[in-house]
Amino acid sequence: MKQVEKRIVRAPSRFRNALPRYAVERTVRCIRCGTCVELCPLGVHEIRPGQNLVTSPNVERCIGISCRENDFFCVAHCPMEALSISENPLLQTLGDRRWTPELILSTWELAETGFPPANGKAVEGGDSGGGFDKLRFRWKREAPRLESLLEARINLSVRLNRRDRGPERSIGLPLYGGGMSFGSISLPTMIGKAGAARNMGTLTCTGEGGYPDELVPYAPWVITQVATGLFGVREETIKLAPVVEFKYAQGAKPGLGGHLLGDKVTPAVAALRETVPGHSLFSPFPFHSVYSVEDHRKHLDWVLEINPDALVSVKVSTPTDVDMVAVGSYYAGAHIVHLDGGYGGTGAAPEIAKKNIAMPIEYAIPKVHRFLEQEGIRDEVTLMAGGGIRTAYDAAKAIALGADGVVIGTAELVALECCRCGNCESGRGCPRGIATTDEEMSCLMDPEWAIQRITNLYHGWKIQLMEILWRLDLDSVEELRGRRDLLFHEDYQGTR
């Protein structure tokens, strides 16, 4: 994909207050002597005339208990012993086991600055106690300085078409944006995703809610999704698309069709989907025209008839026989097999499905990779993995397990300051203006800002991916594929 390089500039938070990691308490014993104001070089303390503030005004700048080591540690120098610093219990209310508070804050920071944190302490993943969170790399060498890394010319591009027909296409990063429909997310969010794909030379996907006109300028970077509801699927948008994605299933609700609850079906959404406003939309499951690989092939033929230049991707989730499904998709003619694991997902999904149905992506990737190898067709198909990829590290781990690249969803929303509160499914949708179609909420976000935030995230990941490859002594991301020997599992740490 052509890349329209864009400058990485700071895209500060839309909100006034950052979430502080630490709580700085000042008791009434404070005599406002100003010692702490002078001492702290980070500018945590400030005394404003006429105000008797008990908490510090710039508490998010505080570096916490570890400041103890420093000469300027305010707590030790306060003559009245009026100061104390502690972990902020507020953070316990942020995030969850998969997306820990630290991971959310660090993703926000990446999206703000476009660079990994300077102290080298990147957050690798979450605290889910399994899968990616238990896999670690066997590093070969130390991380380099940023300048040497940029000089090293590490190749991150991934070929999407490995078959002998159709045009050559590749993406500049081993990742692209997953399908989120207009309706589940707001228009500025969609534009943010598409603009970032353009800036970084990769792709994004419409999801199943149709193709809003506002996306047309980004058409070379936009995958059109055809899902079981066939909402908004039109010949023109198939013709526009570099890749057409068939969504057979999705990880967050495997075996179930898409859900868009009535509240979110606004007139604009309904118009695009050619449905009635206010009525819940449940996509059927499965495609009632596909009950075999042969039926599936007809689908692909149909797309190629309309747009012979399109690559075809098949999105499936991860049942016990996911390997068979992948091979079947290949034989039906797919260029890309896109596995969607259960632990990702953005839109509305029943809790029971998210937690219980089908296997996590960490198991599906190596299973499919090995099976494709055994069939002797591994190098004729591009394997993309999504559903639970939160960081550049997860992406690299997925590739080392056998994927060619990964598909990103939630992380993009977190880049737009999603706090993972999970309210996107109903009512007016996302209170932070991301996954909503409510007019007032959608105004909380400017599309240009959204483009910059997601571009920054991808740029930060790009640097992290280059650093990972450097530390593994590899020159290109294609060399990482299937290198399970470069990983170890914390629970079965061996000698190999």
**Contact set for ligand SF4, span 290-329 (CB under 6 A):** none
Assess 413 for contact with ligand SF4 (CB under 6 A): yes
Please give the Cα distance from 123 to 488 (Å, whole number).
18
In the bound state with another protein, the residue whose beta carbon lies nearer, of 169 and 315, is 315
Assess 298 for contact with another protein (CB under 8 A): no
Query: Residue 426 contacts by C-beta under 8 Å, 6 or more apart in sequence?
Result: 261, 263, 264, 348
Give least dist CB 413 to ligand SF4, A: 5
Q: How far is CA 474 from CA 152, 207, 370, 467, 479, in A?
A: 11, 34, 22, 10, 7
Assess 424 for contact with ligand SF4 (CB under 6 A): yes
Pick out residues in 219-258 that bind another protein (CB under 8 A).
248-249, 252, 254-257
Q: Which listed residue (301, 422, 473, 493) binds ligand SF4 by CB under 6 A?
A: 422
Pick out residues in 254-273 that bind another protein (CB under 8 A).
254-257, 259, 261
Assess 347 for contact with another protein (CB under 8 A): yes
Q: Which listed residue (435, 454, 469, 480) binds another protein by CB under 8 A?
A: 435
Give least dist CB 336 to another protein, A: 15
Which one-letter DSSP state was computed for residue 26?
Answer: E
Q: Are 455 and 199 in contact (CB under 8 A)?
A: yes
Give least dist CB 425 to ligand SF4, A: 8
Residue the block writes with tokens 């007019």: 439
The distance from CA 424 to its chain's CA centroid, rounded to whole angstroms, is 16
In the bound state with ligand SF4, the residue whose beta carbon lies nearer, of 317 and 442, is 442
Of the candidates 313, 328, 365, 376, the one whose C-alpha atom is nearest the C-alpha of residue 482 is: 365
Can you tell me whether residue 236 is helix, strand or coil?
A: helix
How long is the chain? 496
Assess 418 for contact with another protein (CB under 8 A): yes
Which one-letter DSSP state was computed for residue 25?
Answer: E
Name the amino acid, one letter, at 370: R
Name the amino acid, one letter, at 187: L
Q: Are 296 and 329 in contact (CB under 8 A)?
A: yes
Assess 357 for contact with another protein (CB under 8 A): yes
Pick out residues in 383-402 that bind another protein (CB under 8 A).
none
Assess 104 for contact with ligand SF4 (CB under 6 A): no
Q: Where are the beta strands (DSSP E) in 66-134?
A: 83-87
Number of amino acids touching ligand SF4 (CB under 6 A): 12
Pick out residues in 32-61 that bind another protein (CB under 8 A).
52-55, 57, 59
Q: Which listed residue (19, 123, 241, 419) binds ligand SF4 by CB under 6 A?
A: 419
Q: Which listed residue (423, 446, 449, 489) binds ligand SF4 by CB under 6 A?
A: 423
Give least dist CB 341 to another protein, A: 10
Cis peptide before 286 (omega within 30 of 0): yes
In the bound state with ligand SF4, the residue whose beta carbon lies nearer, of 207 and 328, is 207
Q: Which listed residue (420, 428, 471, 484) binds ligand SF4 by CB under 6 A?
A: 420
Assess 79 for contact with ligand SF4 (CB under 6 A): no
CA contacts within 13 A on the Cβ side of 439? 3
In the bound state with ligand SF4, the residue whose beta carbon lies nearer, of 324 and 421, is 421
Assess 432 for contact with ligand SF4 (CB under 6 A): yes
Tell me the pairing of strands 22-26 and 83-87: antiparallel
**In this structure, what token pair is assigned to residue 345?**
């997902």
Assess 431 for contact with another protein (CB under 8 A): yes
Q: Which listed residue (193, 432, 459, 462) binds another protein by CB under 8 A?
A: 432
Tell me the pairing of strands 135-137 and 487-489: antiparallel
